[in-house]
Amino acid sequence: MIKKILVSQPRPTSEKSPYFDIAERFGVELVFRPFIKVEGISSKEFRQQKISIPDYTAIVFTSRHAIDNFFMLAKELRVAIPEDLKYFCVTETIALYIQKYVQYRKRKVFFGNTGKIDDLLPLMVKHKGERYLVPMSDVHNDSVCNLLDSKKLNHDECVMYRTVSNDFTAEEVENFDYDMLVFFSPSGVDSLIKNFPDFNQENVAIATFGPATAKAVKDAGLRLDLEAPSPKYPSMTSALQHYLLQF
């Protein structure tokens, strides 16, 4: 029986989140507790990558973390952001977040709809003359680089922030009595192993979002009970609802 679920993400800001519908419908307790946190790198670490922000005419943002750390580093390095700098974002929500730091004209901001870099590619190709900079986490693969290379775009990737384990307190360790754990990144799985080296899964169900996270669970020798997305259940919440119907 699933009665208490730990979701390794921050608590949704909107009360209309599907997670709250799940809690009410199935009578389960949902605890939102990130297993990982994001930290910006120092300006000294950034300089070691030999990247000069003023050399680029367009920035590609894949998350709000990327935006925060880009503008933070620019401020630390005393780099003036030119008014004609173009911004390419994977979603409109991320694009709107830029306004936290600068006022932009819509003609300089471009965004996709799916949250994937692939969706941005046609827009970037239309601006083939730009020199693109892609701020990234220290945990990444070459997929973005390879994708931009395939369209012969002038680009560089750089690390601007890192993902680290969000350590649990002694009280949290003592009260770790969940029936299900929900993970969204391999780093979250790594954090579980770090914080609970003697973790014995037994009847605890594990759910993951994304193939890399699923692989991390299996590589850790744990049982994977629910994997999303799927063609029928594209979100974690839809997959979770279907799974809970079994109980």
Q: What is the pLDDT of residue 106?
A: 75
Taking only the tens place, the pLDDT of each residue in 137-180 is 987 788 899 999 999 999 999 999 998 889 999 889 888 999 99
CB of 123 within 8 A of CB of 110? yes
What domains sit in the chain, N to C, each tagged with a CATH number?
A: 44-163 (3.40.50.10090)
Burial (CB count within 10 angstroms: exposed 0-12, middle 13-18, buried 19+), residue 10: exposed
- Rounded to the nearest angstrom, the gap between the alpha carbon of residue 154 and the centroid of all alpha carbons in its chain is 25
pTM: 0.74
pLDDT band at 25 (very low <50, low <70, confident <90, very high): very high
- Binning pLDDT at 50, 70 and 90, where does residue 113 land? confident
Take residue 35 and report the two structure tokens written for it.
């297993």
